[in-house]
């Protein structure tokens, strides 16, 4: 079962697993995405992970499988991204973000764990480098990923003795639709700020948008993430965490040894070239 399979990492993972001979249930939210994905070994499932009825229907589909196949793996990939300074992001939006990026995954794991315990299967939670370091204007998104990392650690220790493997995959810059939408969503955040907030954070947001756009050409293709995920599922003894992207593993190593102040300075220096140039007085 792969959630968020309409595009990007989810779609690539569904196709990779199908190519390796698995029958894949691919969660999508639109009929057009289902039609684009449907292929041999690939069965699109209409699914919103924040809706209990859809998850219950999925459990019934797995329980009543006509081929009596067992559920071997759950890939929690569905999610949404946002860039916003903490002060400017409405609390209602925080709750929506956590519903999608955390509580929806928890709901999926609770619903499918009985089947995965029976099959001694795997859970792969797609986190992010944002689950390790929270950059300026990434606070809401990073908060959901930090939380997903904690849930994954606890779950691994709970169900490992029952034979279920729990793996976290931490992509960095990946050339997906989410990365490409930073400009649109970021500009919306700027437009919705008050004048005072725009004065405080407008330049920061413009820099974050420019930095994200600059990372697109050097980003890892979603197929690279898909291969990492599929390898983790098929490994007899997978790692507890995998990174995706050339620079992601380096960043993870750096944050283990750098002080908070050193990391603050490094991140600020990396962002500085993207700050809008001030007009001379």
Please state, as a whole number, how many other Cβ atoms lie within 10 Å of the Cβ of residue 60: 9
- Which residue in 89, 138, 141, 201 is the catalytic one? 141
- 274 is known as an active-site residue: no
Q: H/E element holding 264?
A: helix 260-271
What is the C-alpha separation between 39 and 99, in angstroms, rounded? 30
Q: H/E element holding 139?
A: helix 139-159
Q: Which of 88, 143, 125 is nearest to 229 (CA)?
A: 125
3-class SS of residue 1: coil
Instruction: Write the burial class of residue 55 (CB in 10 Å: 0-12 exposed, 13-18 middle, 19+ buried).
Output: buried
> What are 89-94's contacts with CB under 8 Å, separation 24+?
89/139, 89/140, 89/189, 93/140, 94/140
**Strand segments (E) across 103-219:** 122-126, 165-171
Q: In angstroms, what CA-CA distances link 18 with 25, 127, 257?
A: 10, 22, 40
Query: Could you give the residue numbers annotated as active site?
Result: 141
């Amino acid at each position: 079962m792969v959630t968020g399979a309409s595009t990007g990492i989810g779609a690539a993972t569904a196709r990779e697993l199908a190519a390796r001979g698995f029958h894949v249930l691919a969660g999508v939210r639109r009929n057009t995405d289902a039609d684009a994905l449907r292929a041999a070994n690939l069965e699109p499932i209409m699914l919103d992970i924040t809706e209990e009825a859809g998850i219950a229907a999925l459990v019934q589909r797995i329980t009543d499988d006509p081929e009596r196949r067992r559920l071997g793996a759950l890939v929690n990939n569905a999610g949404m991204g946002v860039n916003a300074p903490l002060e400017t992001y409405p609390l209602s939006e925080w709750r929506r973000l956590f519903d999608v990026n955390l509580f929806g995954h928890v709901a999926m794991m609770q619903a499918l764990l009985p089947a995965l315990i029976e099959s001694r299967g795997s859970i792969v939670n797609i986190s992010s480098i944002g689950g390790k370091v929270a950059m300026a204007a990434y606070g809401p998104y990073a908060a959901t990923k930090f939380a997903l990392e904690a849930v994954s650690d606890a779950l691994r220790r709970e169900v490992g003795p029952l034979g279920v493997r729990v793996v976290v995959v931490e992509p960095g810059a990946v050339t997906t639709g989410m990365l490409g939408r930073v400009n649109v969503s970021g500009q919306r955040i700027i437009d919705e700020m008050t004048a005072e907030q725009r004065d405080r954070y407008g330049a920061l947001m413009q820099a974050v948008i420019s930095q994200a756009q600059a990372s697109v050409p050097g980003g890892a293709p979603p197929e690279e993430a898909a291969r990492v995920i599929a390898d983790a599922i098929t490994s007899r003894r997978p790692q507890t965490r995998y990174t995706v992207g050339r620079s992601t593993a380096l960043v993870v190593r750096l944050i283990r040894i750098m002080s908070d102040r050193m990391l603050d300075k490094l991140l600020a220096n990396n962002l500085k070239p993207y700050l809008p140039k001030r007009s001379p007085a």
